[in-house]
């Protein structure tokens, strides 16, 4: 990865450390329970300036190192300190095509903000909120900053999946002069950003703006096209394309495998969220897709997906929403900010319990679930405290809707139609550290490789793969089509 | 956008649409389906492909007006555009050399089964086709079935012209002749309740019975889990592992039917649709 060193940041004078993190205004708890509008309202220019002024412009740039795509954080903050938002936007766009998305959903508390020097004093610079401010400013005030485009190389690349990983590779390769076709199975681009993450956390208009930006770079977006059905991977490679990047995500929902799990009104989080967000069921009947939900909704799981499902249920009018998680609050994988938001919205958390069966109302609708209490064992070698059931502690909880939110695994569609693509036993595609798969001219990244991670890691893997693909495409090996037996060691390709 | 190139009304509330969709036509196989969206505010709804022309790049499907989307589709004319048309989805139907195949059709199945019957015929099977319709007026698509079937049985209830038979009576008669007049396989594309009854009828005879299941779907590619059902005690997704399944292996028909009707009370039942639980005749 090339390091940008050109822009000299603002004078790093001796500065007094200001530990007053500027809060971001939010919709009130009461109000937001009844709408799908964005919860966090974003900084005003005044607030953004004030927060930016807290940055002490560390020489060693720990924040930047903490960022999976290596955004020039001190530089864009310096530009804000100079009140040059346009320049800040340009700096941001050098490393991310999706700043409006990253600024909203990245787990900054674990990444850049965790590494920030001020974090030692408990008040890291609110990098994510500043990023969001700049992206929103650019969207509403300025013309989008366009990168410099390399002349056409005559090489053609197929990118499969238009989630954050696919969008990143598509834009990177387009900027480098390659012709890019981006295939998407659904009728809109954006992946989980569109069908999973709710409007109140990530407005869909913002995702679409960023998709349009990628298209404006000359990327040819083909919706409604399923790779593995409409074209196999081999067909793509045999016909028009010099290389392929696979980013179909991990969309196959997991289930508990307990009795009654297929009863009516037991949803997978994917169905519940897709109906609500992508298909806009919260605006039914203006939008044709309905969503049926009862009064007492139980969401099983403790990740971001569970928080999203629970908070959607609140907004869709549920009277009681429970989150059922088998460990404790401390082990919940969801972002702290979203857990707090959920608590404020009146969601009830039930820790240390796990469903063992779903019970029918006699007409095959779910009416209750049986839960068993759990306790955490001593940490094992991996350091994680494993939950184990307490025998005989079963009890019943009345519910009329359940959303199972236990995570997802990769959809086997592409591997099953591509026999020489190496996958693990979890179905994830095997790659080397540069994103190369076992199959020649095929790279992969994002959730299909990680099995489910974050937006920014999906983008980071895309960035690395795009660099590797560019190297391959620029090598002038126009006619070289390396053989690709399944036994190829990805490391030696 | 996907243009509608033809619209034919086949019977009251039954329509055939032909859509320009070359990428779908290119790969279509018997028994597969598409998911379409009419416009920006529309729902994703599945329809079985009833014919296609890979040269002209067109795909046909037949639908019955039951609720909002199908009623809106019924108003669409040649030249109108569909926002989205994804397919061919699902696994193709199994078509081999089986011998004597009995198929049972109702509703859109009367049209959607035709490609499967063609393929079965091409494989040298002997075909007996039982068609169920509420009455003569609502019987359509008889011609291709007559051409393809060695025996065509119309089960029009008591309202048909001289046809007193119901599907199950016809099936019972055929089963009574088995194994003298051997049945090698049964394929059903009709209402869920009928497919369930047929599966139970053939079970004692161990005649392989394939059913075309249509749970509610959203994405149709294995992402949402809405279409899951239990077959052979494992969870299957109808859009990926089906829609054709072995009827003797399907567990929990009641659950399947309940799930199929999740959204029925707000649509078809309210309109007085006489279906006892599903949107097919
Ligand atoms: C509800 C929810 C909330 C989340 N919250 C956060 C969060 O707050 N912060 C965070 O960092 N991460 C979050 N994540 C995780 C994050 O969204 C994912 O890690 C990220 O989207 C993965 O990106 P991707 O590009 O690999 O795949 P995806 O975003 O899954 O995109 C894959 C795309 O490929 C398409 N596709 C699949 N198969 C095919 C095919 N065969 N042909 C063509 N197209 C295909 C899919 O339709 C999809 O559009 C959340 C995830 C969910 C589900
Ligand atoms: C694989 C498959 C193939 C199908 N093929 C055909 C066909 O060739 N011709 C045809 O007329 N119908 C077909 N159907 C049924 C058709 O999809 C529904 O009748 C249609 O969705 C009804 O939409 P609506 O908006 O008009 O009715 P709605 O008012 O939405 O619903 C009416 C009924 O359809 C059911 N339904 C609603 N949405 C779906 C959905 N996405 N999937 C399944 N059922 C749903 C409801 O449970 C309800 O019983 C098929 C269904 C599946 C799953
Ligand atoms: S680590 Fe924190 S204070 Fe230092 S440059 Fe980065 S954002 Fe500014
Ligand atoms: S329709 Fe979504 S998984 Fe089958």
* CA B46–ligand 2 middle distance (angstroms): 6
pLDDT reading at A465 higher than 80 = yes
Predicted confidence (pLDDT) per residue in A51-110, tens digit:
999 999 999 999 999 998 889 999 999 999 999 998 998 898 888 878 889 999 888 888
Question: Quick one: A281 and A363 in the same domain?
Answer: yes
Q: Which two tokens stand for residue A39?
A: 């919860």
Question: Quick one: A327 and A390 in the same domain?
Answer: yes
Q: How far A388 CA lies from chain B's nearest CA (Å)?
A: 25
Q: Is A299 domain-assigned?
A: yes
Mean pLDDT across chain A: 88
**Which CATH number belongs to the domain containing residue A49 in this structure?**
1.10.1060.10
Interface of A with B (CB under 8 A): 185-187, 195, 223-226, 229-230, 251-253, 255, 257, 262-265, 267-268, 270-271, 274-275, 279-280, 285-290, 292, 363-365, 411-413
Alpha carbon of A242 to those of A57, A219, A226, A239, A443: distances in Å? 43, 16, 19, 9, 12
| Whether the CB of A359 sits within 6 Å of ligand 1 | no
pLDDT reported for residue B278: 43
Question: Quick one: A394 and A414 in the same domain?
Answer: no
How much of chain A, in percent, has pLDDT values that exceed 70? Answer: 93
Question: Quick one: A420 and A461 in the same domain?
Answer: yes
**Which CATH number belongs to the domain containing residue B23 in this structure?**
2.40.30.10
Question: Quick one: B161 and B185 in the same domain?
Answer: yes
Average pLDDT over residues B56-68: 91
Question: Quick one: B45 and B135 in the same domain?
Answer: no
Whether B168 contacts B83, CB under 8 Å: no
Task: Choose between A1 and A88: higher pLDDT.
Answer: A88
**Confidence tier at A386 by pLDDT (50, 70, 90):** confident
Question: Quick one: B72 and B114 in the same domain?
Answer: no
Q: Is A480 domain-assigned?
A: no
Predicted confidence (pLDDT) per residue in B192-212, tens digit:
888 988 999 999 999 999 999
pLDDT reported for residue B157: 66
Question: Quick one: A340 and A469 in the same domain?
Answer: no
Predicted confidence (pLDDT) per residue in B143-177, tens digit:
899 899 998 888 876 655 555 568 888 898 899 99
**Confidence tier at A312 by pLDDT (50, 70, 90):** very high
Of A82, A106, A141, which residue is a domain's last?
A: A141
pLDDT reported for residue A381: 76
Question: Quick one: A294 and A379 in the same domain?
Answer: yes
What is the DSSP pairing of strand A385-389 with strand A395-398?
A: unpaired
Question: Quick one: B118 and B250 in the same domain?
Answer: yes
Question: Quick one: B207 and B139 in the same domain?
Answer: yes
Question: Quick one: B53 and B129 in the same domain?
Answer: no
Question: Quick one: A264 and A401 in the same domain?
Answer: yes
pLDDT reported for residue B164: 56
Number of domains in chain B: 2
- Mutate which of A21, A62, A78 for ligand 3? The one with the most ligand atoms within 8 Å of its CB, which is A62
Question: Quick one: B145 and B251 in the same domain?
Answer: yes
pLDDT reading at A221 higher than 90 = yes
How much of chain A, in percent, has pLDDT values that exceed 90? Answer: 61
Among B2, B18, B90, residue whose Cα is nearest residue B53: B18
Question: Quick one: A292 and A369 in the same domain?
Answer: yes
Domain that holds residue A372: 253-407
**Confidence tier at A318 by pLDDT (50, 70, 90):** very high
Q: Is B51 domain-assigned?
A: yes
Of B44, B60, B88, which residue is a domain's last?
A: B88
- Mutate which of A68, A161, A168 for ligand 1? The one with the most ligand atoms within 8 Å of its CB, which is A161
Residue B224 is labelled as binding a ligand: yes
Q: How far A427 CA lies from chain B's nearest CA (Å)?
A: 14
Among A187, A262, A290, select the one facing B84 at the smallest CB separation: A187
Question: Quick one: A285 and A389 in the same domain?
Answer: yes
Of B88, B108, B137, which residue is a domain's last?
A: B88
Rounded CA Rg of chain B: 18
pLDDT reported for residue A184: 97
pLDDT reported for residue B138: 80
Question: Quick one: B105 and B84 in the same domain?
Answer: no
Question: Quick one: A260 and A401 in the same domain?
Answer: yes
Predicted confidence (pLDDT) per residue in B74-107, tens digit:
999 999 999 999 989 999 999 999 999 999 998 8
Question: Quick one: B105 and B234 in the same domain?
Answer: yes
Q: Is A380 domain-assigned?
A: yes
Comparing A145-149, A161-165, B27-31, which segment has the lowest mean pLDDT? A145-149
Q: Is B245 domain-assigned?
A: yes
Distance CA A354, CA A282 (A): 29
Number of domains in chain A: 3
Domain that holds residue B181: 100-262
Report the complex ipTM: 0.90
The whole-model pTM stands at 0.90
């Amino acid at each position: 990865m090339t390091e940008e060193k050109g822009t000299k940041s603002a004078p790093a004078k001796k500065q007094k450390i200001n530990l007053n993190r500027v809060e971001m205004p939010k919709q009130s708890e009461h109000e937001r329970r009844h709408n799908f509008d964005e919860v966090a309202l974003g900084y005003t220019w005044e607030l953004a300036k004030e927060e930016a002024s807290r940055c002490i412009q560390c020489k060693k740039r720990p924040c930047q190192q903490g960022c999976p795509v290596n955004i020039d954080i001190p530089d864009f903050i310096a530009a804000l300190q100079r009140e040059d938002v346009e320049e800040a936007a340009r700096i941001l766009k050098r490393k991310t095509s999706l700043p409006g998305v990253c600024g909203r959903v990245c787990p900054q508390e674990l990444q850049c903000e965790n590494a920030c020097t001020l974090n030692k004093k408990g008040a890291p610079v609110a990098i994510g909120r500043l990023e969001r401010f700049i992206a929103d400013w650019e969207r509403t005030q300025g013309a989008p900053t366009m990168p410099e485009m390399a002349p056409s190389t005559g090489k053609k690349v197929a990118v499969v999946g238009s989630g954050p990983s696919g969008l990143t590779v598509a834009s990177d390769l387009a900027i480098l002069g390659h012709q890019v076709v981006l295939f998407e199975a659904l009728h809109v681009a954006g992946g989980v950003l569109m069908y999973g993450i709710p409007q109140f956390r990530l407005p869909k208009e913002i995702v679409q703006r960023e998709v349009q930006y990628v298209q404006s770079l000359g990327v040819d977006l083909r919706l409604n096209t399923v790779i593995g059905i409409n074209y196999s991977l081999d067909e793509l490679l045999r016909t028009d394309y010099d290389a392929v990047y696979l980013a179909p995500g991990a969309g196959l929902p997991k289930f508990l495998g307990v009795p009654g799990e297929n009863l009516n009104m037991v949803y997978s989080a994917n169905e519940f969220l897709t109906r609500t967000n992508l298909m806009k069921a919260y605006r039914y009947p203006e939008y044709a897709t309905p969503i049926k939900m009862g009064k007492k909704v139980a969401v099983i799981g403790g990740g971001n997906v569970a928080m999203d499902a629970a908070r959607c249920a609140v907004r869709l009018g549920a009277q009681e929403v429970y989150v059922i998680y088998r460990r404790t609050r401390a082990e919940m994988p969801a972002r702290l900010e979203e857990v707090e938001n959920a608590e404020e919205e009146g969601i009830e958390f039930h820790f240390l319990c796990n469903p063992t069966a779903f019970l029918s109302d006699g007409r095959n609708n779910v009416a209750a679930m049986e839960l068993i209490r759990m306790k955490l064992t001593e940490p094992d070698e991996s350091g994680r405290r494993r939950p184990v059931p307490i025998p005989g502690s079963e009890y019943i909880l009345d519910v009329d809707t359940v959303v199972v939110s236990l995570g997802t695994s990769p959809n086997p569609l592409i591997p099953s139609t591509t026999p020489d693509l190496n996958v693990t036993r979890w179905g994830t595609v095997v790659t080397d550290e540069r994103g190369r798969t076992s199959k020649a001219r095929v790279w992969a990244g994002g959730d299909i490789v990680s099995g489910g991670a974050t937006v920014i890691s999906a983008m980071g893997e895309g960035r690395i793969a795009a660099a590797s693909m560019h190297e391959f495409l620029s090598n002038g090996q126009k006619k070289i089509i390396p053989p690709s037996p399944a036994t190829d060691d990805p490391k030696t390709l | 956008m996907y243009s509608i190139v033809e619209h034919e009304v086949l019977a009251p509330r039954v329509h055939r649409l032909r859509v320009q969709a070359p990428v779908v036509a290119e790969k279509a196989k018997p028994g597969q389906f598409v998911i379409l969206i009419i416009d920006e505010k529309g729902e994703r709804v599945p329809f079985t492909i009833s014919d296609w022309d890979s040269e002209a790049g067109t795909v046909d499907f037949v639908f019955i007006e039951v609720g909002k989307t199908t009623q809106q589709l019924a108003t669409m004319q040649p030249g109108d555009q569909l926002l989205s048309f994804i397919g061919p989805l699902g696994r193709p139907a199994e078509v081999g050399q089986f011998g004597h195949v009995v198929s049972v059709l109702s509703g859109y199945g009367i049209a959607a089964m035709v490609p499967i019957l063609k393929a079965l015929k091409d494989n040298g099977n002997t075909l007996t086709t039982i068609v169920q319709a509420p009455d003569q007026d609502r019987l359509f698509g008889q011609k291709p079935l007559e051409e393809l079937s060695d025996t065509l049985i119309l089960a029009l209830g008591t309202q048909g012209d001289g046809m007193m038979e119901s599907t199950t009576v016809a099936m019972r008669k055929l089963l009574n002749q088995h194994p003298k007049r051997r049945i090698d396989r049964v394929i059903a594309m009709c209402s869920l309740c009928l497919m369930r009854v047929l599966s139970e009828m053939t079970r004692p005879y161990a005649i392989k019975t394939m059913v075309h299941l249509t749970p509610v779907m959203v994405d149709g590619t294995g992402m949402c889990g809405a279409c899951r059902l239990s077959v052979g005690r494992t969870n299957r997704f109808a859009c990926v592992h089906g829609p054709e399944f072995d009827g003797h292996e399907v567990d929990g028909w009641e659950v399947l039917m309940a799930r199929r009707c999740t959204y029925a009370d707000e649509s078809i039942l309210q309109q007085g649709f006489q279906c006892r639980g599903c949107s097919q005749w």
